[in-house]
Amino acid sequence: MPAGAIKRVAHWSVVNATASDGCSAMHWLGNHHAPDLIIADPQLPDMNDWELIEYLASSGLYGNIPIFVLSSYSVSETQQRCNGVNIQQFLIKPFNPVDLVKAVDQMIISGNARQYLVKSL
């Protein structure tokens, strides 16, 4: 998905930071950025599958940040892995960006995400 695709579809007021790999995502987070929501792919080129998501979900620093998973794994495998780290929201690739906007809107309405959007695809 092009970096601006979410901005074009969404009506949120967000700061969008993109990381192409897990190391870049961790570097950005390590520079005292505290996003209100992380959208992440479990398959990153520099980490084992699910490593970043499992780390963030179990971290004392980042564990309270809602994570939305965009996965190319099967629904059953994604559901199982997400349940294992208490992640409630995911979409399977390919996905319709409008579905992502609706899901994130629901997270915002419920108070689980507010201002920032980190996308690690």
**Bridge-based pairing state of the strands 89-92 and 116-120:** unpaired
In this prediction, residue 112 carries a pLDDT of 61
User: Which amino acid is located at 57 in the chain?
Assistant: A
CATH code for position 23: 3.40.50.2300
Q: What is the mean pLDDT of the chain?
A: 83
Name the residue range of residue 61's domain.
5-120
> What are 71-92's pLDDT values in tens digits?
999 999 999 999 999 998 999 9
Q: What is the pLDDT of residue 3?
A: 46
Residue type, 111: G
Please choose, from the candidates 42, 2, 8, the residue with its C-alpha nearest in 3D space to the C-alpha of residue 25: 42
In this prediction, the residues of the chain whose per-residue pLDDT falls under 70 are 1-14, 111-121
Please state the domain count of the chain. Answer: 1
Cα→Cα distances 81→4, 41, 74, 78, 85, Å: 28, 12, 11, 5, 7
Identity of the residue numbered 23: C
